[in-house]
Amino acid sequence: MNGKIDVAAIGEVLIDFAQESVDALGYPTMAAHPGGAPCNFLAALSALGMKTAFLGKVGEDDFGLMLRHTLDAAGIDTRGLISDPDVFTTLAFVRFDENRDRSFSFARKPGADTRLRSDELDLTVIDECRMLHFGTLSLTDEPARSATQAAVEYARRRGKLISFDPNLREPLWPSLDAAAEQMLWGLKNADVVKISGEEAEFLFGGGCEKSAELILNDCGAKLVMITLGSEGCFIKNRAAQCRVPAARVKVADTTGAGDIFGGSAVSRFLELGKTPEQLTQEDLAYMARYASAAASLSTEKSGAIPSIPAKEAVLQKMQETY
C-alpha cells in the first residue's frame, strides 16, 4: 500500500460550460469552468493534503493549457497528461431547468480525452500510487477504453486498490445496454465504488441497500458509497452500514458534487489507514458525514474544482449538521 502518490486517476479532463442565464430568445449565457469527474475527485483529495496524479489527454490548445495549469495549481501531478496537437480539448455544456436539474451535451466527436492510447500511459504513476480511480467516460470510445482497461488491469496485478465511479452520461453512449456493460465491468474490477442512487436504480432496479448488497456480493467490491442527492448517502461494507442525511445549504450548482463527495470520502478512508473490510460502523459514519458536508458546501458555488470547500469549513458544517 505504500507509494509516493496516494491516488492516481485516469479519464477525462475538460471544460464545463455552465448556464448562468437565458436571454429572451432562449440562448444561454455560459461560464467556463475546469471539469472532468476524475480530476474533480483528485482535486478534492489534494485539497485535503493527499498526493494525487492524473493520466489523460487534452488538446494542444488554449483550453488544454488552461486545464494543465489548473491541475498543477491544485497540486495534481500532471506528468501523465498528454497534449495532442491533432484533436481539440473536450467541452461539456451544462444547462439547468426551472428546478435546477441538469442536462448535459458534449463537443467530443472526437474529444482529446477519448484519444488516449495504451502506449501513452506513464506506468510509473501507477507504480507509485496506493489507489487508482476511474469512471466510465473513458470507456465510451476507443482507444481510451483499451487504455483505461489496461491501466486498471496493470494496477490490479500490482496490488493497488481500485476505485470506480460510473458517472453515467447517457448522450455519450450508443445505447444504454452499452453503458450498462461498461459500468458492470468497472464494478467487477473495483474495491471501492461511489455510485449515485439513479445509477444504482438503472443497473439493479432496487433501493440502495439491495444495490449495495449486489455490488458487494455479486460484483466483488469491498466498500460501496451511494449518493442520494438531497437525501444524503448510504455507505456499506460487508461488516457495517450507515445512512447519513445531507447538510442543508442554498444550492447554486450541483456540478461535481458527487465527485467531491467521492474524493472527500476516499481521503478520510486513506487517513484511517484500514482496508475497506476493516472499516467499522463508526468509521463509515465519519466518512459519510465528512463527504456529505463537503459535497453539500460545494453546491453553493458554480463549477466543480473552484467550489471545493476548505477542510475547516467542512468540519464546521459537520458540527452544525451532525
Cell of 241: 452500514
pLDDT digits (tens, 9 = 90+) for 149-201: 999 999 999 999 999 999 999 999 999 999 999 999 999 999 999 999 999 99
Q: What is the mean pLDDT of residues 85-92?
A: 97
Q: Exposure string (b/e) for 196-228, b if CB count within 10 Å is 16 or more? A: bbebbebbbeeebeebbbbbbeebebbbbbbbb
Given the DSSP bridges, would you call strands 161-165 and 192-196 parallel, antiparallel or unpaired? parallel
Give the count of domains, the chain: 1
Q: What is the mean pLDDT of residues 133-139?
A: 98
pLDDT digits (tens, 9 = 90+) for 13-42: 999 998 889 899 989 899 999 999 999 999
pLDDT of amino acid 257: 93
DSSP symbol at 289: H
pLDDT exceeds 50 at position 1: no
pLDDT of amino acid 162: 98
pLDDT of amino acid 237: 98
pLDDT of amino acid 96: 78
Helix (H) or strand (E) holding 203: helix 197-204
Asked whether the beta carbons of 38 and 12 are under 8 A apart, the reply is yes
Q: What is the mean pLDDT of residues 45-64?
A: 97
Q: What is the mean pLDDT of residues 58-73?
A: 98
Residue 279 contacts by C-beta under 8 Å, 6 or more apart in sequence? 223, 237, 239, 240, 269, 272, 287
Can you give the CATH number for the domain in which 300 is found? 3.40.1190.20
Poorest-pLDDT segment among 87-101, 134-148, 252-266: 87-101
Full-model pTM = 0.95
- CB-neighbour burial class of residue 243 (10 A; exposed 0-12, middle 13-18, buried 19+): middle
Where in the sequence is the domain holding 115, given as residue range(s)?
A: 5-321
Q: What is the mean pLDDT of residues 309-317?
A: 94
Asked whether the beta carbons of 186 and 139 are under 8 A apart, the reply is yes
Cell of 86: 491533432
Q: pLDDT-derived band of residue 126, with 50, 70 and 90 as boundaries?
A: very high
pLDDT digits (tens, 9 = 90+) for 195-251: 999 999 999 998 999 999 999 999 999 999 999 998 999 999 999 999 999 999 998
pLDDT of amino acid 141: 97
Nearest alpha-carbon partner for 289 in 262, 251, 321, 241: 321
Q: Terminus-to-terminus CA distance in the chain, angstroms?
A: 32
Q: What is the mean pLDDT of residues 97-107?
A: 81
H helices present in 55-195, as ranges = 62-73, 123-128, 144-157, 176-188
pLDDT of amino acid 103: 84
pLDDT of amino acid 100: 67
Question: Half-sphere exposure of residue 25, counting CA atoms within 13 Å on the CB side?
Answer: 2
Q: pLDDT-derived band of residue 304, with 50, 70 and 90 as boundaries?
A: confident
pLDDT of amino acid 118: 98
pLDDT of amino acid 3: 59
- CB-neighbour burial class of residue 172 (10 A; exposed 0-12, middle 13-18, buried 19+): buried
Q: What is the mean pLDDT of residues 267-275?
A: 97
Given the DSSP bridges, would you call strands 76-84 and 52-59 parallel, antiparallel or unpaired? parallel
Q: What is the mean pLDDT of residues 275-281?
A: 97
pLDDT exceeds 80 at position 98: no
